[in-house]
Amino acid sequence: MSLPPLALLYVPADRPDRVEKAFASAAHAVIVDLEDAVAPGAKAEARANLATLLGRPREKPAYVRVNPGDDADLEAVAGLALAGVYIPKVAEPTGIPRLPLPIHCLVESAAGVEAAYEIARAPGVAGISLGESDLRAETGAGEEGLDWARSRIVNAAVAAGLPRPPQSVYPHLRDLDGLAVSCARGRELGHFGRAAIHPDQLPVIEQAYLPTETEVARAREQLARGAGASALADGSFVDEAILRRARHVAALAERYGTRIGV
């Protein structure tokens, strides 16, 4: 079973030293950023850095987040050794550029949320996720008020046959307890993993999304029994839907491990 990265790390393209540290970090994938993390006066330098930083395959998946509507950015990423390109502020399918690389759309507006399924089904799109800061500013929604949009993005992605989306970044760098609570909520809503803006956030994200040893043991028991073969110890039978979930849990544990101390 193919699984997307569980913990992704954003890093500014105008800081090559930080990019190298990001690839050496615990992140499962790195998003080299040309957009929000780079000051307007440093955009050209950041773009020029890409050929050196990402002109060859790296040891883990590498993505680039471009500036919306910037043709120079799109030209710069076209020949790089990337797992994909993040396109921010996508509000409708016609706003998605054509690229020779997988496209991950960031939906950051009320209009984008309404068009999420059409965006997810557009040619070349390999993933979608929510950009919460802009959406929060536009709608005035608080933390719990964004749950509807989060669920909408998850459902649109799955309905279109795409991977379950990662959560939006958690902006409070020092509040790791708050990050853990937020990740637990995201997992309940159906997200898979999360993007981080600091390496200290990575272990919290990973632990929140990894299965426990108990969950893995139960999944393996379900897979061993097979659908409807017999009752488990708690008296429940196993159907195909439960087996799909069990396969996912077992694959997740095999790829990334299990939660520590649980």
* CATH code at position 28: 3.20.20.60
pLDDT of residue 235 exceeding 70, the answer is no
Residues 98 and 23 in one domain: yes
Give pLDDT, residue 262: 60
Is 70 within the bounds of a domain?
yes
Residues 149 and 230 in one domain: no
pLDDT of residue 229 exceeding 60, the answer is no
Residues 237 and 141 in one domain: no
Measured distance CA(197)–CA(188) in Å, rounded? 22
Displacement of CA 21 from its chain's centroid (Å): 20
Contact criterion met (CB below 8 Å) for 160 and 122 = no
Q: Which tens digit of pLDDT belongs to each residue from 100-150?
A: 999 999 999 999 999 999 999 999 999 999 999 999 999 999 999 999 999
Residues 104 and 30 in one domain: yes
| Percent with pLDDT over 90 in the chain | 85
Contact criterion met (CB below 8 Å) for 223 and 248 = no
Is 224 within the bounds of a domain?
yes
**Dihedral in degrees, nearest 10, Cα atoms 17, 19, 22, 24:** -70
**How sure is the predictor about 228, in pLDDT bands with cuts at 50, 70 and 90?**
low
Residues 106 and 171 in one domain: yes
Give pLDDT, residue 260: 84
Contact criterion met (CB below 8 Å) for 113 and 107 = yes
What pTM value is reported for the model?
A: 0.93
Is 130 within the bounds of a domain?
yes
Q: Which tens digit of pLDDT belongs to each residue from 187-206?
A: 999 999 999 999 999 999 99
The total number of structural domains in the chain stands at 2
Host domain of residue 33: 7-209
